[in-house]
């Protein structure tokens, strides 16, 4: 096995991973859940949060907390799926620990 070739391939993959991570900043996912809309980018940074005013009418703090948790968790899951999909493209489908 040619160690120089392996090292070069690893450096290339690292460079591609950095590029994908930068691109993920510009990709967004949107979640609409029970009156809460969250837009998050592929780096799991929240871009916007909107709340349907009707959700606030007569709703308890406990119910609001549950709605927000559900929406945030769904957005995080979708963002992780997007990240894993993008990383899988550069890893050629290899199961590399830490890449999703």
Q: Per residue in 47-92, pLDDT tens?
A: 999 999 999 898 899 999 999 999 999 999 999 999 888 888 877 6
Q: How far apart are CA 82 and CA 78, in angstroms?
A: 6
What pLDDT does 2 receive?
A: 82
Taking residue 31's Cβ as centre, other Cβ atoms within 10 Å add up to 19
The mean pLDDT of the chain is 87
Q: How far apart are CA 50 and CA 35, in angstroms?
A: 8
What structural domains does the chain harbor?
A: 3-91 (3.30.1310.10)
Eight-class DSSP state of 44: S
What pLDDT does 100 receive?
A: 46
Q: What are phi and psi of 40, to 5 degrees?
A: -135, 145
State the average pLDDT over residues 22-43: 92
Closest among 22, 57, 59, 52 to 38, alpha carbons compared? 52
pLDDT of residue 22 exceeding 80, the answer is yes
């Amino acid at each position: 096995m040619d160690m120089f070739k392996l090292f070069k391939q690893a450096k290339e993959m690292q460079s591609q991973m950095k590029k994908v991570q930068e691109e993920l900043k510009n990709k967004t996912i949107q979640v609409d859940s029970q009156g809460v809309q969250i837009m998050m980018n592929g780096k799991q940074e929240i871009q916007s949060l909107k709340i349907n005013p009707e959700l606030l009418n007569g709703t308890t703090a406990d119910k609001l907390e549950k709605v927000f948790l559900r929406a945030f968790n769904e957005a995080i899951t979708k963002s992780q799926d997007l990240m894993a999909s993008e990383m899988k493209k550069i890893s050629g489908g290899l199961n590399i620990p830490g890449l999703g």
